[in-house]
Structure 1
Amino acid sequence: MSIQLNHTIVRARDPRASAVFLAEILGRGEPVPFGPFQGVEVDNGVTLDYMQVEGDIPWQHLAFLVSEAEFDDIFGRIRERGLPYWADPGHRRPGEINHGDGGRGVYWNDPDGHNLEILTRPYGSGS
C-alpha cells in the first residue's frame, strides 16, 4: 500500500472565508462543507479542511507545486488583489519571487496569517 496524504486541518477564524480565499486564488472549485469543515481539494486528492477555532492561530505553511502556466495564473490573482508577497518564507524579500532550482516560487499570507506558497519546481530538484 502506498502512503498518501489525504487531508489536513487548517485552523481559521472564519473557515468559509478562508477556504473561499484559497479556492479563488488557486482557481479551484467552491469549498465543500463536511461537518465542521470547509474543504478545498487539490489535484492529487488532498483536501485542506478549514475548521473554526477561537483565539490565537499559530500559522501553518502550505506549499503547492504548480505548472509554469498555473503559476502565472495564480500569481496574477495575487497581484490583482494587491496582496503582499515575498520570495522567501521569512518575508525578508518583499515584492519578489524566487528562482530556486531553476523554477519560480512566491509566498503570501491568507486571512489567518498562514504562510502560503506556490512553486514550479520542488526545492532540491535542480540547479
Structure 2
Amino acid sequence: GVQMGTAFIVTEECQVHENYKNEIIRARDIDSKVTGRSCGHPVRTLRNQMTKLYLQKEKEGASFEELEALTLGGLKKAVVEGDVKNGSLMAGQSAGLVTEKMTCEMLIRKLVKGTEKQIRGSVFYE
C-alpha cells in the first residue's frame, strides 16, 4: 500500500486553497519539516513562518499547551484562507516530486502507467 495525500491535495477536485496547492508545487525535496515530535504528535509540513516558530519553541522546551495554542486553527488557515505563512501546510516528503496540477483521473492514470512501465522493466523472482 501507499499513502499519497500530498499528490491528491494538488488535484483539481481537491477543495483546498490554490495558495496551498501552489506551495506544494513549488516545494523542493528539502522543504518539509516534522513538528510535534516533543509531544508525541509528529506532523510533516512545508516550511513556513509557523513551522519555524514551532520548531524553535519545541527546541526551547515549550509545553504541549503552548505548542497547541500556536497551531490552533492552522489547517483552516492554510486550506480555507490560503495563509501559507502562518497556516499548517501538511505535506509529505514527496512534495518535491509533485510538479503540476491535474485531475484525480489523470493522476491515477499516470501512476498506473508508471507502475506498468516499472513492472515490464523489472525481473521478478518467484
TM-score normalised over the length of structure 2: 0.21
Q: Which of the pair is proportionally richer in helix? A: 2
By relative contact order (CA 8 Å, sep 6+), the higher-ranking structure is 2
Q: Which of the pair is proportionally richer in strand? A: 1
- Larger Rg computed on CA atoms: 2
